[in-house]
Structure 1
Amino acid sequence: MHAAAPVPALESDQPDFGAVPERSKWRYKPRKAFWRSRLVRAGVVIAALAICALAILAIVRKETGTEGFLVGLALAVLPVPLLLAAFRWLDRVEPAPWKNLLFALAWGAFASTLIAIFANSFAVKWISSVTADPGSAESLGATVVAPVVEETAKGAAILLLFLFRRGSFTGPVDGLVYAGFTATGFAFTENILYLGHAFGEDQEFGAEGLGSVTVATFFARVIMSPFAHPLFTSLTGLGLGFVALLPAGARFRRTRLWLLPTAGLLLAMGLHALWNGSATFHPLAFVLVYGMFMVPVFGLLTWLAIWSRQKELRTISGELPAYATAGWLAHDEPLALSSMRARSMARGYAARTFGKPGSRAVGEYEAFATTLAFLRHRARRGQVAPDFAAREQELLHHLWQRRRVASPALTYAARATGRVWVPPQYLDYGGYNPYRG
């Protein structure tokens, strides 16, 4: 554990932020190569994902037919908003940027499914040609090849975010959220394929509308196990999330940098293989695996996710009092900022008092204060960035600009939610009691 950097003292009512010039006033602006431009890189990523989307949707439509594709699309989209809302709720303390989440969702829905469909098909054909047994090739493909290929393809999105969006990947919660968005996208496209095939089978048997095969497939994949793919991939996300917590001077740090994500990926593959194997070999095995493995692991990961979120809130309540002591925050603010209920109440109070701009200012204040708390926490753990002082000054600057609206709202919320002791009214008048005759 390392000592955090000292908090800048608040020496006057209006601090001097001369060390944080506006971008337009920067004297030196290094020239960037064309390919290093953010706009160019974003364009390349969007174009690549768009090509993958067109390719995978064309393949799925060819496999299922236009009518099967539309039916599968309509049914597969139903659990997506609920799953995304659940992962977004988990990420409310320090929300990840939407561009990162959209990248994870698009990668899962288009890029990873395209990789998986080609790799799985190639592997099954190769096994079939070697063994001359198409039946065993299909079983091996489902239980061995598919888990390895699919979890690797999904895990690639989380690894890319870990490497290139490191500032937005700070712990297990971020790993879970990125894994959840990626796997939800993957399950969405896969469900279109399975439900479209099921609808085609029903049409071959002369069923009108949704037949028994489509209903059974919908029940098994959308009702019973919508969390299956997010559950598998969450193990990979947790591995990288725990890597993000490693202090700079941790023992065996280099070993753990490789061991934790590798262990998470192998566990994801193993649980995926167990799930696919249970569905392949016997219906009773599916029920046993569902009850004895999937539900307990889902419960364990749910508990871990909630515990991680509470730990983030405890980090806020532990780090921000230093800034309150220095005068940057009111003394009740750290306790309000470490409660999701108090945060929501503060935004509501500001909305009633100042309208939508006031609510937006309080929300921005909460976001900047949360980022400041985690910045200081990482510094305490020995993960001090070279630009720590500049980033800290910039965050304090943003807080100061919104303090007039946000501070009273958060103080009110801290008292209204019981986060702090509220004194009798006459004590707030400096000893004078207007209620005493």
Structure 2
Amino acid sequence: MLTAASRRGGETRARREARMSLLRAATPMHGGPSMSSATSVAPKRRRRLTRGRLTWLLLLGFAVLLSVGVVAWLFSELRFAALTMAIPALVPLGLVLTAVWWLDRWEPEPRILLAFGLFWGAGASVVGTLVTGGMMLDVARSYLATEGAVSKFSVLIQSPISEESIKAVGLFLILIFARRHFDSPLDGFSYAAVIGAGFAFTENIIYFSQAAESASGFASTFIVRGILSPFAHALFTGITGMAIGWGARRGGWRRPILMGLGGLVIAILAHAFWNGGSLLILPLLGVDPSNQFGWLIFYLVVQLPIFLLLAWFLVKLHDRDRLIIVDRLGEYADAGWFTTSEVAMIGDWSAREQAFAWAKSVSPEADRAMRGFVQDASRLAFAREHARVNKRDPNRRVVEKRMLDRVKEHRSQLAAFGAAGPRVATS
């Protein structure tokens, strides 16, 4: 674990004192109580329905409404199979959502935004793809001579363009209406992955239903889509999301929009290559694309390595989030706002679980206060990271101050229970 001494190794005394003076100037509450020394309990905040929250409730309602329409369409087309095939479709959905939870656990995104993403993928993206994809196929049929050519157009051009573009609309909506919750590549991937997972869930119901005429057909389809490639749509859309998140780190609108559009182009190309790359790669390997094992060879040689590379990159982003928490809260610890034990607890997952277990054993109120303390302290760390990266943001100190106030409130609530929480070993 990083220590304050190791972080300051290369700083001169003058620079260190200047940094601490700026931090204290930005945190006028310096001298606030530690978890064990606070004596008063802050009043419980009443949750208000802000305009931003109302906007997201309306957008979520719109996405849910479209999802209900998709459910009705599925039942009209597939009848009872739509319900039965939704059960195996939950398997890849659960895998993706579990991965998103793990990757995003250090500073989780708001649930309402993740819910919007899921329903946007399962409903709005499907509706948008049916409309735009149908229009593209109608145009293609007027220019292409055979249905075989139209089929190739659908796989290599229409599907990647229409699907990735409509899914990306959901990401840009989150960027526009919830910008302060969208400021890192991992934020972008988290939103994109749930959109992709929602879309794949609906798509899998259709594929599984079509393959259910025979047990072998269903089994092979489930293995390919549910076991071997459950993350495909999450990764395609994730490229767009990470590009938007990377551009959003430094503020402004031009950078995240342009980078997002660039990411969308890459996502479309990746989707097209995933669909039809075997036609290019297998001949280079001396394998006939019509070989019954050709798809497996392409999967092992191309698709699986790409997935593992992206998974490695995402784990690095996950680890970076933890280091941001430790480093930025370490600066607050240097200024007297946190103890080293608190920073160690917040920056270590097992220590967090230990603290949550202690608080839960005390009372539901203590449990809420501890979880709020850890959550808002993590948000404080990322607010400070944002202020460090984007020095032109006029609201960066306001957000820090607000997070500090909330941390102080949670700490005061915890102090009312007469203890500083469980002891956490530091290293």
Classify the TM-score, shorter chain: 0.7 to 0.9
Query: Cα gap change, 1:160/1:317 in structure 2, threshold over 3 Å: closer, same or farther?
Result: same
Which residue in the other structure is 1:53 paired with? 67
In structure 2, distance between residues paired with 1:197 and 1:279: 23
Deviation at 1:62, TM superposition (A): 3.0
Aligned to 1:343: 352
1:370 is aligned with what amino acid?
S
* RMSD, aligned α-carbons: 3.1
- On the 8 A contact 1:124/1:138 being kept in 2, the answer is no
Aligned 8 A contact 2:103 2:314 in 1:
yes
Cα distance in structure 2, aligned partners of 1:226 and 1:23:
41
- 1:325·1:331 contact (CA, 8 Å) conserved in 2? no
Tell me the residue number matched to 1:269. Answer: 268
**Mapping of residues 23-422 of structure 1, within 5 Å:** 37-38=51-52, 41-42=55-56, 44-64=58-78, 66-199=79-212, 202=213, 211-246=215-250, 257=256, 259-278=258-277, 282=290, 283-352=292-361, 354-383=362-391, 385-403=393-411, 405=414, 408-409=420-421, 412-413=423-424, 415=425, 419-420=426-427
Structure 2 CA distance, aligned partners of 1:240 and 1:298? 20
Which AA in structure 1 matches 2:144? T
What's 2:9 paired with?
none
Cα deviation, residue 12, structure 1: 6.8
Q: Is the 8 A contact 1:49 1:111 kept in 2?
A: yes
Distance 1:335 1:40 in 2: 37
Q: Is the 8 A contact 1:143 1:277 kept in 2?
A: yes
The offset of 1:106, in angstroms, is: 0.2
Q: Secondary structure at the match of 1:320?
A: helix
Per-residue deviation, 1:37:
4.4
Cα deviation for residue 229 of structure 1 reads 1.0
CA–CA distance in structure 2, aligned partners of residues 193 and 41 of structure 1: 32
Q: Separation in 2 of the partners of 1:238 and 1:397?
A: 31
Structure 2: which 5+ residue stretches go unaligned?
1-17, 280-288
Q: Secondary structure at the match of 1:332?
A: helix
CA separation in 2, counterparts of 1:224 and 1:342? 34
Q: Deviations 1:137-193 (Å, cap 9, x if unpaired)?
A: 011111111001111111111121122111111211111111110000000000111
Structure-2 change in CA distance of 1:246 and 1:289 (3 Å): farther
1:310-334, CA deviations, whole angstroms, 9 ceiling, x for partnerless residues? 1111112211233223332223322
TM-score by length of 1: 0.79
Counterpart residue type for residue 45 of structure 1: L
Deviations, residues 218-248 of structure 1 (Å, cap 9, x unaligned):
2221122111111211111111121122367
Could you report, residue by residue, the CA deviation over 1:16-38 in whole angstroms, capped at 9, with x for unpaired residues? xxxx99999xxxxxxxxxxx945
**1:267: Cα distance to partner?**
1.9
Using the alignment, how far apart are the partners of 2:31 and 2:58 within structure 1? Answer: 48
Counterpart residue identity of residue 290, structure 1: Y
- Residue pair 2:52, 2:177 contacting (<8 A) in 1 also: no
Q: Distance in 2 between matches of 1:342 and 1:39?
A: 32
More relative contact order, 1 or 2 (CA 8 Å, 6+ apart): 2
- In the other structure, the counterpart of 2:11 is none
Aligned length: 385
User: Comparing 274-283 with 137-146, which one deviates more in the overlay?
Assistant: 274-283
Q: Is the 8 A contact 1:93 1:370 kept in 2?
A: yes
Deviates more, 1:293-302 or 1:177-186: 293-302
- CA shift, 1:349, in A, is 2.8
Is 1:91–1:177's contact at 8 Å kept on the other side of the alignment?
Answer: yes
Hey, what's the Cα distance between the residues in 2 that align with 1:226 and 1:102? 19
SS of 1:78's equivalent?
helix
Aligned counterpart, 1:425: none
Cα contact 1:347–1:409 (8 A) shared by 2:
no
Q: Which whole-Å CA distance do the structure 2 matches of 1:382 and 1:49 have between them?
A: 32
Residues 263-304 of structure 1, C-alpha deviations (whole Å, 9 max, x = no match): 321221112112211578645442233122221221122111
> What is the match of residue 433 of structure 1?
none
Amino acid of the structure 2 residue aligned with 1:271: A
**Counterparts of 1:349 and 1:240, CA distance in 2:** 39
Native 8 Å contact 1:278 1:285 kept in 2: no
| In 2: Cα distance, 1:174 partner to 1:303 partner | 17
Q: Hey, what's the Cα distance between the residues in 1 that align with 2:32 and 2:374?
A: 23
Q: Tell me the SS of whatever aligns to 1:96.
A: coil
Cα distance change on mapping 1:129 and 1:387 into 2, 3 Å: closer
Deviation at 1:390, TM superposition (A): 3.8
Instruction: Measure the CA separation in 1 of the matches of 2:33 and 2:193.
Output: 45
After superposition, the Cα gap between the structure-2 partners of 1:157 and 1:167, relative to the gap in structure 1 and judged at 3 Å, is same
Determine if contact 1:63/1:197 at 8 Å carries over to the other structure. Answer: no
State TM-score, norm by structure 2. Answer: 0.81
- Whose Rg is larger? 1
Letter in 1 for 2:23: P
